[in-house]
């Protein structure tokens, strides 16, 4: 409980989105004990100055009790709140015999701030407030029975409608002012909230996940046809407005699990699963598809389809339409069938595309991506107008630059950009291709171009988790962590078994100082098979350096599988491998100057001897150890698709990372790599004030 001297002008702040919180004028949270006390305060703060009948409050919070008993409970709860809050603001409550209100001058809320920012001008602050609120429901985590939930659903609907009207008016005003940048920021912020809250009680979208199809085909031992059906079915169903489809990465990861189907559905945040199998005899195909209830694991519908390899896309189209139609029948909805997607008329080109796409999805493995590139190029040699194959080839090249120890990362990035541009030329509505093209902009020190493309990609494909997380990551790279977080969270909501997304979440929470959340995200990332360095850095920041050293050291177990040695070097083994990772773990996580000095000297040696002097194995630890000079020598010389993710770690306000940002050469470095230009267009980082900034900016 907080108690301070009386201040008749003190204004408290109520957070109404998410879990209700009340804070004093200095930002310190006022802990309200008792869930009904919190709920009472939250109800009153929805409309400060508007009196609510005592009987109405009793109905909402003490329904089912005798009237006298309920009114006594309300009276006792009010007395407790007045005792706690009067020392902070004497006139906080306005109470009569029959009605209760809070003084409108004594409290402001995140909802009121947002509505004021939308109505007054509007101001850029509206976009920032929308992004801070993200997809959090109004008055979350409050539940006092069905009557209360009905009231809360009504209030949420009223607020959302009010906000939608205000956003639409604000967008019109930005349009009249000719400010395309602020118009786009506000539109994206609202679209993000709208897409996240769409999974709530007011949305009719059905959350489904497509599981990889099983292949029973001796000729197609790798299951390329089954993989292609899985991949294309996700894309086709993702076009249906009433469906929200789980991401490919999560579906692929979950398919390796032996867990019961309801557990898989829960992990994928899906109410229904689509699964199937493919059998081939010569050119004939038999595809069995079933729709599974995610709660029970029982089939709601199943069907067998027959076709041949010459008309595989027609088969996919029939399956997608049947699944959509069945979901509509199950839920009584008029579900629109997916549009027919442009593809190729060549059977050979399509089969090569399926094989290359399947290998690209695997990514890790000796020669896997090189073979994927070969197959996709052969497909395009047959049909150069095959837009989806150009996108797949772009993805294969960027994966090659990131996941293999190649020495031509710049060339891979350039080739990726060529492929992405060709895909966009053939199909201008492609968002994913634009997001990948943004990666190449970073390698050319053009973050402005990267963000322009990422925002446009999100406009085109707001329900593609790969697009959302790419936009979130780009915002992380320029230090706009608060703005990045909702996009990352939206990607995780739709693609919850993808470790890469949790890496972004771990860094975002670390940058915001939310250490427990950063550790939790880092642990989830490790559970999904990714390296433990980010978890270790978050654990070290929380104070447990001994555990952090051990966590970092565990990364060595992923060498030559998920992690490859620097390009042009031989893999370390045995004692040499253990020794290297011990030095690295202590240098980054122990907090001891002597360990940091030893590892920094090793980075100096690697920088002087490695074929790629800007390799990730140098850049990332240099940031984590606050070795500013090495950061500027590496990222300042060359940003690649492999090391660009290191930029997101610059923005943690912890020692010794902050030493990079505080170094005298940081702003010249930021100017050189294009960060300053991005700040001037998209807003300055959370940890840096804009030059000559004013409160009304």
Highest mean pLDDT among 303-317, 340-354, 564-578: 564-578
pLDDT in tens, 151-201: 888 788 778 878 888 888 888 888 778 777 777 778 777 876 765 554 444
- CATH code at position 594: 1.25.40.10
pLDDT in tens, 325-339: 887 777 776 777 666
Write out the two tokens for 224: 């390329």
Write out the two tokens for 586: 């202590």
- CATH code at position 300: 3.40.50.10610
Write out the two tokens for 466: 């790969």
Q: What is the pLDDT of residue 19?
A: 83
Side-chain half-sphere of 501: how many Cα atoms within 13 Å? 24
Residues 113 and 32: beta-carbon distance below 8 Å: no
Boundaries of domain holding 105: 12-110+138-164
- 544 and 674 together in one domain: yes
Among candidates 452, 431, 428, 424, which has minimal Cα distance to 180?
452
Q: What is the pLDDT of residue 695?
A: 41
Q: What is the pLDDT of residue 152?
A: 86
- Higher per-residue pLDDT: 470 or 97: 470
Q: Is 275 helix (H, G, I), strand (E, B) or coil?
A: strand
pLDDT in tens, 19-50: 888 988 888 888 888 888 989 999 999 988 88
The answer as to whether 157 is a domain residue is yes
pLDDT band at 64 (very low <50, low <70, confident <90, very high): confident
- CATH code at position 86: 1.10.10.10
Region 333-356 average pLDDT: 77
The answer as to whether 181 is a domain residue is no
Region 470-491 average pLDDT: 92
| pLDDT score of 420 more than 50 | yes
- 235 and 145 together in one domain: no
Side-chain half-sphere of 450: how many Cα atoms within 13 Å? 28
Rounded to whole angstroms, what are the CA distances from 282 to 13, 279, 312, 332?
69, 10, 14, 40
Largest CA distance in the chain: 85
For the chain, give the percent of residues with pLDDT over 70: 93
- 518 and 601 together in one domain: yes
| pLDDT score of 7 more than 60 | no
The answer as to whether 365 is a domain residue is no
Q: What is the pLDDT of residue 11?
A: 86
- 598 and 513 together in one domain: yes
- 154 and 219 together in one domain: no
Q: Which of 306, 333, 360 is the last residue of a domain?
A: 333
Q: Which of 280-294, 438-452, 681-695 has the lowest mean pLDDT?
A: 681-695
The answer as to whether 639 is a domain residue is yes
Region 266-291 average pLDDT: 86
Write out the two tokens for 505: 């979440």
Q: What is the pLDDT of residue 3?
A: 43
Region 554-571 average pLDDT: 83
Q: What is the pLDDT of residue 415?
A: 97
Instruction: Name residues whose C-beta falls within 8 Å of residue 190's C-beta, 6 or more positions apart in sequence.
Output: 130, 164, 167
- 146 and 245 together in one domain: no
- Higher per-residue pLDDT: 45 or 142: 45
Write out the two tokens for 563: 């992690």
pLDDT band at 470 (very low <50, low <70, confident <90, very high): very high
| pLDDT score of 312 more than 80 | no
Highest mean pLDDT among 17-21, 129-133, 544-548, 576-580: 544-548
Q: Which of 280, 314, 333 is the last residue of a domain?
A: 333
Domain total for the chain?
3
- Higher per-residue pLDDT: 187 or 549: 549
Q: Is 444 helix (H, G, I), strand (E, B) or coil?
A: coil
The answer as to whether 382 is a domain residue is no
Residues 307 and 315: beta-carbon distance below 8 Å: yes
- 324 and 437 together in one domain: no
- 615 and 676 together in one domain: yes
- 551 and 478 together in one domain: yes
- 314 and 446 together in one domain: no
Q: How far apart are CA 510 and CA 508, in angstroms?
A: 5
Q: How far apart are CA 392 and CA 496, in angstroms?
A: 23
- 481 and 621 together in one domain: yes
Q: How far apart are CA 219 and CA 53, in angstroms?
A: 74
pLDDT in tens, 605-641: 999 999 999 999 999 999 999 999 999 999 999 999 9
The answer as to whether 178 is a domain residue is no
> Could you tell me how far CA 413 lies from the centroid of its own chain?
24
| pLDDT score of 220 more than 80 | no
Strand ranges across the sheet with 107-109: 29-30, 21-23, 12-15, 107-109
DSSP strand pairing (284-293 vs 243-245): unpaired
Q: What is the pLDDT of residue 222?
A: 56
Write out the two tokens for 401: 């630059």
Region 516-541 average pLDDT: 92
Mean pLDDT over all residues of the chain?
86
| pLDDT score of 693 more than 60 | no
- 153 and 36 together in one domain: yes
Residues 420 and 395: beta-carbon distance below 8 Å: no
Instruction: Name residues whose C-beta falls within 8 Å of residue 86's C-beta, 6 or more positions apart in sequence.
Output: 6, 92
The answer as to whether 231 is a domain residue is yes
The answer as to whether 422 is a domain residue is no
């Amino acid at each position: 409980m907080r108690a301070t001297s009386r201040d008749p002008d003190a204004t408290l702040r109520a957070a109404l989105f998410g879990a209700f919180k009340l804070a004093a004028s200095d930002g310190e949270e006022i802990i309200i004990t008792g869930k009904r006390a919190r709920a009472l305060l939250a109800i009153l703060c929805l409309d400060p100055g508007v009196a609510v009948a005592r009987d109405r409050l009793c109905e909402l919070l003490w329904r089912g009790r005798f009237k006298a008993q309920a009114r006594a409970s309300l009276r006792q709860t009010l007395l407790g709140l007045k005792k706690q809050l009067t020392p902070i603001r004497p006139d906080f409550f306005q109470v009569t015999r029959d009605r209760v209100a809070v003084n409108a001058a004594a409290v402001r809320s995140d909802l009121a701030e947002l509505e004021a920012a939308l109505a007054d001008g509007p101001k850029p602050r509206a976009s920032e407030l929308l992004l801070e609120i993200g997809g959090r429901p109004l008055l979350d985590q409050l539940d006092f029975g069905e009557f209360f939930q009905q009231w809360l659903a009504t209030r949420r609907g009223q607020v959302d409608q009010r906000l939608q009207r205000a956003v639409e008016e604000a967008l019109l005003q930005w349009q009249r002012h000719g400010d395309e940048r602020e118009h786009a920021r506000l539109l994206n912020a609202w679209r993000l909230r709208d897409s996240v809250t769409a999974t709530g009680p007011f949305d009719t979208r059905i959350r489904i996940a497509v599981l990889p199809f099983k292949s029973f085909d001796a000729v197609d031992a790798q299951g390329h046809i089954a993989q292609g059906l899985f991949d294309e079915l996700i894309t086709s169903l993702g076009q249906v407005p009433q469906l929200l489809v789980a991401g490919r990465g999560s579906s692929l990861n979950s398919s390796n699990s032996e867990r019961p189907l309801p557990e898989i559905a829960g992990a994928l945040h899906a109410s229904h699963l689509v699964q199937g199998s493919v059998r081939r005899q010569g050119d004939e195909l038999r595809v069995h598809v079933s729709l599974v209830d995610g709660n029970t694991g029982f089939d709601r519908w199943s069907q067998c389809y027959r076709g041949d390899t010459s008309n595989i896309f027609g088969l996919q189209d029939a399956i997608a339409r049947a699944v959509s139609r069945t979901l509509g029948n199950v839920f009584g909805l008029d579900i629109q069938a997916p549009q027919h997607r442009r593809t190729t008329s060549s059977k050979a080109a399509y089969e090569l595309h399926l094989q290359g796409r399947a290998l690209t999805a695997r990514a890790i493995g000796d020669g896997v991506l090189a073979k994927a590139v070969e197959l996709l190029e052969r497909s395009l040699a047959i049909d150069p107008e095959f837009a989806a194959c150009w996108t797949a080839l772009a993805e294969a090249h960027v994966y090659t630059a990131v996941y293999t120890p190649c020495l031509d990362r710049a060339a891979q990035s350039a080739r990726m950009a060529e492929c992405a541009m060709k895909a966009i030329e053939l199909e201008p509505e492609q968002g994913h291709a634009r997001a990948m093209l943004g990666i190449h902009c970073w390698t050319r020190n053009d973050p402005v171009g990267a963000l322009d493309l990422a925002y446009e990609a999100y406009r085109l494909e707001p329900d593609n988790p790969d697009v959302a997380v790419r936009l979130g990551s780009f915002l992380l790279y320029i230090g706009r962590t608060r703005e990045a977080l909702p996009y990352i969270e939206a990607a995780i909501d739709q693609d919850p078994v993808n470790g890469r997304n949790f890496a972004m979440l771990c860094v975002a929470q670390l940058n915001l100082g939310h250490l427990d959340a950063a550790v939790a995200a880092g642990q989830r990332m490790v559970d999904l098979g990714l390296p433990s360095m980010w978890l270790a850095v978050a654990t070290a920041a929380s104070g447990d350096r001994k555990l952090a050293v051990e966590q970092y050291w565990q990364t060595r177990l992923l060498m030559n599988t998920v992690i490859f040695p620097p390009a042009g070097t031989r893999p370390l083994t045995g004692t040499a491998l253990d020794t290297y990772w011990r030095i690295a773990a202590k240098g980054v996580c122990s907090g001891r100057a002597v360990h940091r000095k030893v590892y920094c000297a090793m980075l100096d040696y690697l920088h002087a001897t490695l074929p790629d002097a800007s390799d990730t194995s140098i850049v990332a630890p240099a940031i984590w150890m606050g070795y500013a000079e090495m950061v500027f020598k590496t990222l300042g010389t060359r940003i690649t698709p492999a090391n660009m993710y290191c930029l997101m770690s610059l923005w943690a306000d912890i020692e010794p990372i902050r030493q990079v940002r505080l170094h005298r050469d940081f702003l010249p470095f930021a100017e050189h790599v294009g960060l300053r230009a991005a700040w001037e267009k998209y807003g300055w980082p959370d940890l840096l004030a804009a030059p000559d900034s004013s409160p009304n900016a």
